[in-house]
């Protein structure tokens, strides 16, 4: 139960961080229609989950639920997606890596399109 509370708290804080950083960055660097705020959040989230994952391989405790699952998950799920792809690469699962990455991108875009169309029509 304690781990669920950690995830809950970390997720809330991560979501607030995503909102603030994304909005501030987009206002600071408004480059045409490039979504700079989301880009910065995704890239910094990937860096953060890399640091935290490496640390918690050495030190296994329940703070990983607060910081990795909660904070990084609330901040950006792209960081989790990237960490999973990195793990597949490290384990030599190159076929699954390519399949997962491509399917996630293609089907993800398709689902956004379908959801948009359902509500729009």
Given a contact cutoff of 8 angstroms between Cβ atoms, the answer to whether 52 and 69 are in contact is no
* Percent helix / strand / coil, the chain, rounded to 5: 85, 0, 15
76 is in an annotated binding site: yes
Question: What is the Cα–Cα distance from 116 to 33, expressed in whole angstroms?
Answer: 20
108 is in an annotated binding site: no
Handedness of CA 61, 8, 101, 38 (dihedral sign): negative
Q: Whose structure tokens read 């792809």?
A: 85
Contacts (Cβ under 8 Å, ≥6 apart) of 64: 52, 56
Q: Residue 33: phi, psi to the nearest 5?
A: -105, 15
Which residues are documented as binding site for Na(+)? 73, 76
Which residues are documented as binding site? 73, 76
């Amino acid at each position: 139960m304690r781990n669920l509370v950690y995830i809950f708290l970390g997720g809330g804080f991560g979501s607030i961080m995503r909102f603030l950083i994304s909005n501030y960055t987009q206002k600071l660097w408004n480059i045409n229609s490039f979504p700079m705020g989301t880009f910065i959040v995704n890239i910094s989230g990937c860096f953060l989950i890399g640091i935290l994952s490496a640390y918690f391989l050495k030190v296994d405790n329940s703070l990983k639920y607060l910081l990795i699952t909660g904070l990084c998950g609330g901040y950006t799920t792209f960081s989790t997606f990237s960490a999973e792809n990195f793990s597949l690469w490290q384990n030599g699962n190159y076929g699954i890596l390519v399949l997962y990455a491509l399917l996630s991108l293609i089907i993800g875009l398709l689902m956004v399109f379908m959801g948009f169309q359902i509500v729009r029509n």
